[in-house]
Amino acid sequence: MCSSYCLPDATFSSQTSALADISSLDAYCEWMKSLLLIIPDGQYEVKFFAKDEARNSVAGYGVLRGTHTGEGGPVAPTGKTLVADFVYHMDFEDGLIKHTTKIWNDTISLQQLGWA
């Protein structure tokens, strides 16, 4: 899914329970694709984006909003709305993403959706 933007072996990390078993960027992209089936009206709002040339990296802050109306979650659709702040930090190599770190409070997000 992200092959045109990242290295084939791009890695992923996040200090969250929801993403604890995900270590490749490709697997994370697939996880997000699945989440947007559960939250079909999901929309991102980018609030901040910066490039650090010396470290060959970028960081972005945004908000994901959406309502759990789709099937496939851990419970039947709750109709509850998610408003989740998140930050991505991406390291680059040869113009492609080498590693992505996501900073996100998954506990709050799961509570908002009525999953926890």
State residue 37's pLDDT score: 95
Q: 88 - beta bridge partners?
A: 60, 102
CA distances (Å), 5 to each of 48, 91, 92, in order? 20, 12, 10
Angle at 70 between CA 16 and CA 30, to 5 degrees: 45
1 pLDDT band, cuts 50/70/90, is: low
91-113 residue pLDDT tens? 999 999 999 999 999 999 999 99
Structure tokens at 98: 């080498």
Q: Which residues contact 37 (CB under 8 A, 6 or more apart)?
A: 70, 71, 72
68-81 residue pLDDT tens? 999 988 999 999 99
26-81 residue pLDDT tens? 999 999 999 999 999 999 999 999 999 999 999 999 999 999 999 988 999 999 99
Domains of the chain, first to last: 6-113 (3.10.450.50)
CA distance linking residue 78 with residue 76, whole number of Å: 6
